[in-house]
């Protein structure tokens, strides 16, 4: 883990108040001595994400993410530790001292890939505007893109040649390994290994993140290729499920919402028509991470997917994902055209604006889709339709809003409001019971190590985990007692490799800096997922009292657990890593 001077890190944290920083990503509400909100790292309906201003740390009781302001930025912005430090320092105008690890190997490679993407994007765009780019330019003009849009979105063309880009990038000083790391080339599978251009005979769309970095490319084939669109492979800077096309422009739009469409051409068509709030996923279904990214810039999303069956299915899935991160969702039903691009070409921008103005909320959209499926003149279908109606309404939090929709269903079906309300309350009651059971199973699974029974906190290891956790909690909460703790407890008293390593590192650091705050050192000493576990020791195990008797009691309990175990059968770092991976999966 890269090291920075404690004096510098202390000043950085002082300038970057964690509540202020986190509030840019999460809607926090004051609760007693802390702030609470919906976790930005996993989907949840009940807030379990806590920010403690006194200790300048955060912790989620749901997915176990935790740490200080640097850890938060690492996870939120997908940055390495030195990059997160630089990110925060830049935000407050603080100079990062030279001769630090800011130019670590990973940071250097990330910068190198972003640089190569810029060079490649310029090459593709220049090629489009040359004689060689005639096929791409003809396609773009046929699709109705203006010269201004071509420049604004940096659209380009990858020639049909096998190695045009390779040769150009070589001439700019980039090696084969550089090009592989950026995903700009493919590698032959023949006996004679060679590289060749990944994108060939394709119109190129640079993918730019909200910080205006070119992180990858999408290429639309002009040949008879089964892969109509091809994206850059995932690498250090590009993850399809965490980014959105045109978010760099749409994040500052004046509409007060984001318009979610399916493809690059839909986005460009909308921007060209004056709707610069449009964004699109990158060739995949909407992900929770993309929903959380949108949440950073707006609370309102307008879904405008294609009007075919696949588009309707995608709309239903997207509604659930967006609602899970507490976004206000509306749906535009495109009529007279398959997608927004075709609609605008056929009817113009003003007609599309009328569609936006008449968009329905997610509940109305769902009810409309349900009603379309059934024949209300047939009693059995009418009953099935009402059951689906009520299932949708049961998910509405507001009692007033539920009553409004119940009134509407009563009018549409001729059923009494009293019967509908009684059935609705029954559904809500059953759903609450099921959710409680699910939550209890989740908690039990967490403590028992899951189905496989190989996790860190298995039944046979839970006592060990708690005893060792109490020791580390003592150190983190009361570092001034480190001498007393070390007299009674040694690293050999630990069974798990991870906790032994943590104990050893913390003891060493407190000897170097007796007045230090160990909970603020964690992000510079351990990996983000490990920091989350240690935050759990503080938050879940809790702060113990600090008198000598309590320390002795913890030490005695730890040694007692040690006697029950064969030291050679300790919990390895490999098994602990499985535990960390399980937590990651649960947080997705």
Give the gyration radius of the chain's Cα atoms.
28
What does the alpha-carbon distance between residue 231 and residue 206 come to, in Å, rounded to a whole number?
Answer: 10
Sheet strands side by side (includes 156-158): 156-158, 202-208, 214-221, 229-231
Residue 439: pLDDT band with limits 50, 70, 90: low
Q: What is the pLDDT of residue 567?
A: 43
Beta bridge partners of 280: 245, 261
Can you give the residue range of the structural domain that contains 214? Answer: 106-238
3-state secondary structure 126-167: HHHCCHHHHHHHHHHHHCCCCHHHHHHCCCEEECCCCCHHHH
For residue 156, what pLDDT is reported? 98
Q: Cβ(66)–Cβ(59) under 8 Å?
A: yes
pLDDT at 570: 47
CATH at 228: 3.90.980.10
Torsion of CA 422, 423, 428, 430, to 10 degrees: 120
What is the greatest pairwise CA distance in the chain?
A: 84
Between 558 and 2, whose confidence is greater? 558
In a domain, 367, yes or no: no
Residue where one domain finishes, among candidates 64, 84, 101 = 101
Residues 261, 234: one domain? no
- Residue 181 in contact with residue 236, Cβ under 8 Å? yes
Mean of the pLDDT values across residues 279-293? 91
Q: What is the pLDDT of residue 573?
A: 53
Same domain, 228 and 259: no
The set of residues, in sequence order, having a beta carbon less than 8 Å from that of 285 and lying 6+ positions away, is 314, 317, 318
CB within 8 Å of 237: residues ≥ 6 apart: 110, 113, 114, 117, 213, 215, 216
Residues 232 and 110 occupy one common structural domain: yes
Kindly state the average pLDDT of the residues 405-414: 91
- Whether residue 252 is found in the same domain as residue 155: no
Residues 484 and 547 in one domain: yes
pLDDT digits (tens, 9 = 90+) for 168-188: 999 999 999 999 999 999 998
* Token reading at 308: 């075919």
36 in a structural domain: yes
Does 252 share its domain with 352?
yes
Are both 480 and 581 inside the same structural domain? yes
Same domain, 470 and 556: yes
Task: Band the pLDDT of 465: cuts 50, 70, 90.
Answer: low
pLDDT digits (tens, 9 = 90+) for 312-357: 889 999 999 998 888 999 999 887 667 899 999 888 999 999 999 8
Non-local CB neighbours of 104 within 8 Å, separated by 6+ positions = 2, 80, 82
Distance (Å, whole) CA 348 – CA 338: 15
Give residue 476's pLDDT.
85
CA 470 to chain centre: 31
Mean pLDDT, the chain, whole residue set: 85
What are 588's two structure tokens?
């997705």
Residue 284: pLDDT band (50, 70, 90) is: confident
pLDDT at 242 over 80: yes
Q: Report the range of poorest mean pLDDT among 188-202, 270-284, 429-443, 493-507.
A: 429-443
Q: How far apart are CA 125 and CA 361, in angstroms?
A: 40
Query: Final residue of a domain: which of 298, 329, 360?
Result: 360
How far apart, in whole angstroms, are the C-alpha atoms of residue 8 and residue 92?
13
Q: Given 216, 238, 260, which residue is the final one in a domain?
A: 238
Check: CB of residue 125 under 8 Å from CB of residue 147: no
pLDDT-above-90 percentage for the chain? 45
577: which 2 tokens?
A: 């890593």
Mark whether 193 and 151 lie in a shared domain. yes
> According to the model, what pLDDT value does residue 495 have?
80
In this structure, of 8-12, 188-192, 494-498, the range with the lowest mean pLDDT score is 188-192
Considering the domain boundaries, does residue 217 fall inside one?
Answer: yes
Does 487 fall in a domain? yes
In the predicted model, is pLDDT for residue 281 greater than 80?
Answer: yes
Structure tokens at 210: 């909200």
CA 117 to chain centre: 23
Which pLDDT score, from 0 to 100, does residue 451 have?
A: 36
- The contacts found for 355-362 with CB under 8 angstroms, 24 or more apart, are 355/304, 356/259, 356/275, 356/302, 356/332, 359/302, 359/330, 359/331, 359/332, 359/333, 360/330, 360/331, 360/333, 361/328, 361/329, 361/330, 361/331, 362/319, 362/322, 362/323, 362/329, 362/330, 362/331
Are 435 and 529 within one domain? no
Give me the mean pLDDT over the 518-545 stretch: 75
Judged against a pLDDT cut of 80, whether residue 262 lies above it is answered with: yes
6-15 and 69-77 helices cross at what angle (nearest 10)? 70
The domain tally of the chain equals 5
Confidence of residue 577 (pLDDT cuts 50, 70, 90): low
Rounded CA separation 411/388 (Å): 16
**H-helix or E-strand spanning residue 359:** none
Provide the percentage of residues in the chain whose pLDDT is more than 70.
87
61 found inside a domain: yes
* 185 φ, ψ (degrees, to nearest 5): -135, 160
Would you say residue 42 lies in a domain?
A: yes
- Residue 309 and residue 190 in one domain: no
351 lies in a domain?
yes
Q: 274 and 355: one domain? A: yes
What are 442-461's pLDDT values in tens digits? 544 544 443 333 334 444 45
The confidence band for 255, taking pLDDT boundaries of 50, 70 and 90, is: confident
The Cβ of residue 30 has, within 10 Å, a number of other Cβ atoms equal to 10
CA 267 to CA 281: how far, in whole Å? 10
**Which range among 24-38, 62-76, 236-250, 561-575 has the greatest average pLDDT?**
236-250
Query: Quick check: 543 pLDDT over 80?
Result: no
CA dist 254 and 276 (Å) reads 8
Report how far apart the first and last C-alpha atoms of the chain are (Å, whole number).
Answer: 25
Instruction: Indicate whether 406 belongs to any domain.
Output: yes
pTM, two decimals, is 0.72
Distance CA 579, CA 574 (A): 9
Domain of residue 568, CATH code: 1.10.860
Which pLDDT score is estimated for 373?
87
């Amino acid at each position: 883990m890269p090291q920075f001077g404690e004096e510098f890190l202390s000043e950085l944290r002082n300038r970057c108040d964690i509540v202020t920083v986190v509030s840019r990503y999460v809607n926090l509400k004051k609760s007693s001595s802390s702030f609470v909100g919906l976790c930005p790292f996993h989907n949840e309906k009940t807030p379990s994400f806590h920010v403690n201003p006194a200790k300048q740390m955060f912790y989620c009781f749901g997915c176990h993410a935790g740490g200080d302001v640097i850890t938060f930025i690492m996870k939120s912005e997908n940055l390495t530790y030195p990059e997160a430090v630089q990110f925060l320092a830049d935000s407050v105008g603080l100079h990062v001292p030279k001769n630090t690890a800011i130019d670590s190997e990973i940071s250097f490679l990330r910068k190198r890939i972003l640089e190569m993407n810029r060079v490649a994007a310029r090459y593709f765009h220049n090629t489009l505007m040359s004689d060689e780019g005639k096929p791409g330019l003809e396609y773009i003009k046929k699709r109705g893109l203006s010269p201004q849009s071509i420049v604004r979105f940096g659209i380009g063309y990858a020639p049909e040649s096998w190695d045009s880009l390779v040769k150009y990038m070589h001439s700019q000083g980039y090696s084969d390994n550089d090009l592989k790391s950026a995903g700009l080339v493919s590698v032959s599978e023949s006996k004679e290994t060679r590289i060749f251009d990944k994108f060939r005979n394709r119109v190129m769309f640079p993918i730019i993140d909200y910080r205006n970095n070119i992180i990858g490319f999408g290429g639309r084939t002009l040949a008879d290729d089964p892969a109509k669109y091809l994206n850059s492979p995932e690498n250090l800077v590009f993850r399809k499920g965490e980014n959105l096309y045109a978010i760099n422009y749409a994040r500052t739009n004046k509409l007060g919402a984001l318009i979610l469409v399916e493809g690059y051409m839909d986005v460009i068509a909308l921007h060209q028509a004056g709707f610069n709030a449009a964004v699109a996923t990158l060739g995949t279904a909407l992900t929770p991470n993309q929903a959380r990214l949108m949440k950073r810039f707006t609370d309102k999303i307008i879904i405008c997917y294609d009007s075919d069956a696949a588009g309707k299915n995608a709309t239903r899935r997207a509604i659930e994902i967006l609602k899970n991160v507490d976004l206000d969702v509306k749906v535009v039903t495109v009529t007279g055209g398959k997608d927004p691009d075709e609609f605008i070409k056929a009817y113009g921008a003003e007609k599309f604006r009328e569609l936006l103005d008449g968009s329905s909320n997610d509940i109305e959209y769902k009810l409309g889709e349900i009603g379309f499926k059934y024949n209300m003149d047939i009693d059995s279908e009418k009953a099935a339709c009402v059951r689906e109606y009520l299932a949708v309404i049961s998910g509405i939090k507001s009692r007033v809003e539920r009553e409004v929709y119940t009134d509407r269903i009563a009018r549409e079906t001729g059923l009494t409001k009293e019967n509908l309300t009684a059935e609705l309350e029954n559904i809500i009651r059953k759903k609450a019971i099921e959710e409680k059971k699910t939550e209890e199973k989740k908690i039990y699974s967490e403590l028992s190590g899951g189905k496989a029974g190989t996790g860190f906190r298995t039944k046979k290891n839970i006592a060990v985990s708690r005893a060792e956790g109490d020791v580390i909690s003592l150190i983190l909460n009361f570092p001034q007692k480190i001498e007393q703790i070390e007299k009674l407890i040694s690293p050999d008293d630990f069974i798990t490799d991870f906790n032994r390593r943590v104990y050893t590192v913390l003891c060493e650091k407190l000897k170097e800096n007796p007045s230090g705050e160990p909970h603020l050192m964690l992000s510079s000493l351990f990996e983000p997922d490990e920091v989350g576990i240690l935050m759990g020791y503080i938050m879940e195990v809790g702060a113990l009292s600090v008198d000598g008797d309590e320390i002795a009691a913890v030490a005695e309990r730890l040694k007692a657990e040690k006697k029950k175990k064969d030291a050679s059968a300790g919990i390895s770092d490999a098994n602990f890593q499985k535990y960390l991976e399980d937590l990651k999966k649960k947080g997705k």
